[in-house]
């Protein structure tokens, strides 16, 4: 079914998901969340995580429980935390 988002983008979706793929793509251009899937990016945004340093507020278990954060996202986040010499909150 063809849809048109509020920004005028035309897109096809077979599911009930209302997210416009073009708007979603534009939202994350230049983001530090490169490599994370869009559901994970939305989960981080929903919890106010704007930077890797924000993870010190949360335990690994808390983040893992968020809808949209799966094993792959956790692995990528942990790799980046290690690279930045950061760790999970306690």
CATH number of the domain that 66 lies in? 1.10.150
Q: What is the pLDDT of residue 3?
A: 87
Q: Could you give phi then psi for residue 12, rounded to 5 degrees?
A: -105, 135
Beta-strand ranges (E) seen in the chain are: 2-4, 10-12
Q: What is the pLDDT of residue 67?
A: 95
Identify whether residues 46 and 3 lie together within a single domain. Answer: no
Identify whether residues 48 and 23 lie together within a single domain. Answer: no
Identify whether residues 15 and 42 lie together within a single domain. Answer: no
Spans of the chain, pLDDT less than 70 = 26-31
Q: What is the pLDDT of residue 38?
A: 83
Domain range for 81: 34-90
Identify whether residues 40 and 26 lie together within a single domain. Answer: no
Q: Count structural domains, the chain.
A: 2
Sign of CA dihedral 68, 73, 75, 79: negative
């Amino acid at each position: 079914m063809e849809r048109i988002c509020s920004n005028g983008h035309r897109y096809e979706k077979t599911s009930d998901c209302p997210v416009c793929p073009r708007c979603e793509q534009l939202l994350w251009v230049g983001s530090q969340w490169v490599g994370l899937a869009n559901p994970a990016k939305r989960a981080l945004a929903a919890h106010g995580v704007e930077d890797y340093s924000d993870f010190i507020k949360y335990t690994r278990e808390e983040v893992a429980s968020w809808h949209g954060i799966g094993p792959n996202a956790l692995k990528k986040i942990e790799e980046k935390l290690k690279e930045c010499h950061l760790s999970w909150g306690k």
